[in-house]
Amino acid sequence: MRCLWCRRKIGAFRRLVDREYCSALHRKLAKAASARELRDAGYTPGDADEFDVLWDEERNGKPAGRPSFAGFALLLLLAAFTLLLLHKSDGGSAGVRSDNLYAAPARGGGFWDRMQDRLPSIARTSVRRVETFEQGLKDWDLGRTAVSSSSWTVSHGWVQPRELRLWKPSLKLSDYDLHFQAQIEQRAIGWAVRASDLNNYYAAKIVVSRPAPYQVSQIVRYAVIGGRQTDRTELPLPMQIQQGSTYRVRVRVKGSLMTTFVNGEVVDRWADSRLKSGGVGFFTDPGESAAVMGVELAEQRGLLDRLFLPAWFMPSLPDLP
């Protein structure tokens, strides 16, 4: 992470308060040097304006990137707060998270895992979970339905859903991004978000409502509250969905707003505030068939989460040219 003014790396302490400039002086220099700022403030060449004064400070060797007292004070406060939270820790179960997009998350008992268990949800590190179906369907809940556990088919990292199943590790989440790849084999693929159980969730489907050569694709969405389907809406998609082709689907759930993307393009956005939390699932209705792979769920970070993210204290990745 480099300063937008001098291109030097921004120190770890400075990143706690400013991730764009390595010092307050460089932030002021960048603002004063802006053509818009010069014009709006009426600066003219040769004036002893603010930019000249600041530039003199820079040329006289005023250190850039030195951690401020406020930065040290903030760091000490965070350290004290962390120690207080961990003081009564009994070394119990740790938080579950994984940064590996292609491996199942593992439980750990390290310092950061214990801290996340003690912190309130707004301050927890983002949870990233990935399902590769290598372990079968043990994490996919059927609830109390009487459907055979073999109704879903798993093969080589793909799953063909039938009745609605919910991903158990996601059921307590609230705001998150759901990513998956899907291939519609016959008519439609459906998914659920904010699902607390099989009777309460928001559902959406991509439907090929008319086959080629006069193909029509739709997105269908509705809510299931207390086991009853309500507010069903059908909208045309701004793109053609071909049966047998693979598509990248992303669903962002934040607050009362749900946004759906297909291959990076927004295809639907709607709001409903009845369900506050719940996980994800997949399904197809009778006469429909689809395959799903590469399921990934990323819980969105809270404000305090960025302060407690271990990556803040790790070396920055190389900057792009």
Task: List, for residues 35-54, the tens digit of each pLDDT value.
Answer: 444 455 454 444 445 666 66
More confident residue, 228 or 155: 228
pLDDT tens for each residue of 274-305? 999 999 999 999 999 999 998 999 987 554 44
Q: What is the pLDDT of residue 164?
A: 95
Instruction: Indicate the average pLDDT of the chain.
Output: 74
Does 94 score more than 50 pLDDT?
Answer: no
Give the whole-number percent of the chain exceeding pLDDT 90: 40
User: What is the pLDDT, as a whole number, of residue 146?
Assistant: 46
- Residue 78 in this model has a pLDDT that exceeds 70: yes
Helices (H), 34-130: 35-41, 50-59, 69-87, 111-118
| Type of residue at 207 | V
Left (φ > 0), alpha (ψ -120 to 50) or beta: where does 261 sit?
A: beta
Q: What integer pLDDT is reported at residue 317 of this predicted model?
A: 35
Cβ neighbours, 10 Å, residue 235 = 12
Mean pLDDT of 65-89: 61
**In terms of residues, how long is the chain?**
321
pLDDT at 70: 60
Q: What pLDDT does residue 302 have? A: 54
Q: Are 71 and 17 in contact (CB under 8 A)?
A: yes
Class of domain 128-299: mainly beta
pLDDT tens digits, 204-262? 999 998 766 677 899 999 999 999 999 999 999 988 888 888 999 999 999 999 999 99
CA distances from 292 to 44, 162, 203 (A): 62, 11, 16
Confidence (pLDDT) at 289: 94
- Sequence ranges of the domains in the chain: 12-67, 80-124+304-313, 128-299
Compute, in degrees rounded to 10, the torsion defined by CA atoms 95, 96, 98, 103: 160
pLDDT value for 57: 66
Question: What pLDDT is stored for residue 27 in this prediction?
Answer: 78
Model confidence at 196, pLDDT cuts 50, 70, 90, reads very high
What digits encode the pLDDT tens for the residues 111-145? Answer: 544 554 454 444 444 578 899 888 889 899 876 55
How much is the pLDDT for 320? 34
Q: 287: alpha, beta or left, given left = phi > 0 and alpha = psi -120 to 50?
A: left
Most confident of 148-157, 272-281, 301-310, 312-321: 272-281
Mean pLDDT in residue range 158-175: 94
Distance CA 232, CA 132 (A): 31
pTM greater than 0.75 (yes/no): no
